[in-house]
Amino acid sequence: MEGIYIIGAGSWGTAFSYHLARKGIKVKLWVREKELFEKIKNERENTWFLPGFKLNEKIEPFNDLSLFSEQPPELTFLAVPTKYMRSVLRKFPARPKVVVNLSKGIEVETLARMSEVIREELGMVEYAVLSGPTFALEVAEGNPTVVVVASKKYELAKKVQEIVSDQYLRAYTSDDVLGVELCGAVKNVIAIAGGAVEGLGFGHNTLAALIVRGIAEMKRIANAMGANPETISGIAGVGDLVLTATGNLSRNRKVGYELGKGKSLKEVLSSMKMVAEGIETSKAIVKLAGKYGVEMPISEKMVEVVFGGKNLKKALKELMTRKLKMENE
């Protein structure tokens, strides 16, 4: 397979390129930061975001997006944080044929999912989204991992499935682009809450309660927007949520944990080099919930805590003392 580009050399973009190169696939990896590009080019290692993994000769880093015009890619994977996606796409000098989104979030200003942002900026390109419980470090290490590839075009989902799958990573296909994208966004918000309750010192009961009621919120917004309910119980939904809300490698969980320990958001972010998508996405999720008339109390409380400075213990007490109801109400 030739002509694969990965746009974004953060931890996930780098790990994904490492995975494909391990399969023998040639990859061109776009590195936004000039300094990092030089380091990867000369040292064959992304010491900023994925230290400890030497990148083999199958990976060709580049910094100039004009390469799109000179060598048009057959397949372009986008590993760009949600808030930068639109601005990066506007720098493309040519339209890629096929785009596979690896990012998980919703644009705050427009409430657009990444498929919508991509089509607004690039036109009607062939589109798929790859999602699931995937810590970048563990994918690079070769830990057995499953993902889902969703596209309205089955042939594309099948093609991407075959390209990315091997003994280390197994891909399943889906046609529920909406559901996969929503799950990827909502789970990051719930993961911040999961980290917060652990940071407060609460145990497994509380974390389990948080996760299962987070799944309920995921179901509500997905149902309201017309997604397939089975997606929520699958790889992109419950699978990714459990990983992100409980795993120590989760950036979103780390943000919540540090907030639970009493740090301010500014203090937490100053110690992080990578983007925790759930922070900005929480605002978008709450706005979407209001737009569709959906109750999402955990997400709402996280916005109040993260951006309004609400006391975490008070927020938790308010969640626990809301009006009593049936489980599936």
Q: What is the CATH number of the domain that holds 288?
A: 1.10.1040.10
**Is residue 329, in this structure, part of any structural domain at all?**
no
Low-confidence ranges of the chain (pLDDT < 70): 1-2
Same domain, 198 and 108: no
User: What pLDDT, on the 0 to 100 scale, is given for residue 1?
Assistant: 53
Residue 187 appears among annotated catalytic residues: yes
What digits encode the pLDDT tens for the residues 78-136? 999 999 999 999 999 888 989 999 999 999 999 999 999 999 999 989 999 999 999 99
Assess whether 143 and 213 both reside in one domain: no
Q: Residue 31: give the domain boundaries.
A: 4-175
Residues 6 or more apart in contact with residue 207 via CB below 8 angstroms: 194, 197, 198, 245, 246
* Residue 69, number of CB atoms within 10 A of its CB: 10
List 104, 187, 219, 283, catalytic entry? 187
Between CA 159 and CA 276 the distance in angstroms is 30
pLDDT in tens, 139-166: 999 999 999 999 999 999 999 999 999 9
Q: Are residues 158 and 23 in the same domain?
A: yes
Residue 23 corresponds to which tokens in the numbers above?
A: 């399969």
